Amino acid sequence: MSQRNKPPRKKAAVDNRQRPRMASDAKPGGIPTPRRERTFNPGNTEGKVVVQLGKADVEGPWCLSRITPDDHVALLQRIASVESMTVREVFNTSGGGLGVDYQIDALPNAEAVRRLVTLEYDDETQISRIRVSGTGRLFGFRKGERFYVLWWDPLHEIWPSQLKHT
Of 1-15, 50-64, 116-130, which gets the smallest average pLDDT?
Answer: 1-15
Residues sharing a CB contact under 8 Å with residue 125, sequence separation 6 or more, in sequence order: 103, 104, 105
Residue 109 has pLDDT above 90, yes or no: yes
Question: Terminus-to-terminus CA distance in the chain, angstroms?
Answer: 100
Reported as a single tens digit per residue, the pLDDT across 41-81 is 656 667 899 999 999 999 999 999 999 999 999 999 999 99
pLDDT tops 90 at residue 123: yes
Q: Find the Cα–Cα–Cα–Cα dihedral 79, 66, 163, 76, rounded to 10°.
A: 10
pTM reported for the whole predicted model: 0.71
3-state class (DSSP) for residue 80:
helix
Residue 86 Cα distances to 2, 30, 89, 123, 158, angstroms = 80, 32, 5, 27, 25
pLDDT per residue over 130-165, tens digit each?
A: 999 888 999 999 998 999 999 999 998 999 877 665
pLDDT band at 2 (very low <50, low <70, confident <90, very high): low
Other Cβ atoms less than 10 A from the Cβ of 50: the count is: 15
Confidence at residue 10, expressed as pLDDT on a 0 to 100 scale:
74
Q: How far apart are CA 105 and CA 115, in angstroms?
A: 14
> 133 pairs with which residues across the strands?
none
